[in-house]
Amino acid sequence: MTTINLSTKIKSSKQVIFDLSRSIDVHKLSTAKSNETAIDGITSGLINKGETVTWRGKHFGFYLTHKSIISAMEIPSYFVDEMVEGKFKSFKHEHSFNERNGFVMMIDKIQYQTPYGFFGKLFDILFLKKHLTNFINERNSVLKELAENHQK
């Protein structure tokens, strides 16, 4: 299993960041490079516990689909999206929001397993982990900009 841990410091309210993080529309905006679009389930607005979304986006030159469910949520501090259907063997993304000294630390913990045994692990080491890290960092940059501009 591979784990990616990322932290983003944002000067905004916890509720604003929490809502931006679970916004389908903001996700579409922040993942424009991969042409992500919600094709089933919740396709706009805020996603909530027990709801699903199916994403279609272009990664590594191929259009792929990924269906997730929000399996846990504690407003406005925490939520988890987990893969229901997709190319991973398993995929879990924990989103945490902690207030500290006038800032919010947005923490992403992504844990996943690749299929295809040795070849899947090799693909992960060579390409996938870096791709996912860049993908989430890019998304977080957009979230940070929107959240901090919301305060002005």
pLDDT bracket for residue 152 (50, 70, 90): low
Q: Could you report the per-residue pLDDT of 62-99, keeping only the tens digit for each?
A: 999 999 999 999 999 999 999 999 999 999 999 999 99
d(CA 111, CA 82): 10
Q: Could you report the per-residue pLDDT of 33-57, keeping only the tens digit for each?
A: 888 999 999 999 999 999 999 999 9
What residue spans of 13-128 are helical by DSSP H?
14-21, 24-30, 117-123
Average pLDDT of span 22-32: 92
Q: How many helices (H) and strands (E) does the chain have?
A: 4, 7
Query: Tell me, what's the pLDDT at 150?
Result: 78
Q: Which residues pair with 70 in a beta bridge?
A: 81
3-state class (DSSP) for residue 141: helix
φ, ψ of residue 120 in degrees (nearest 5): -65, -40
Provide the whole-model pTM. 0.93
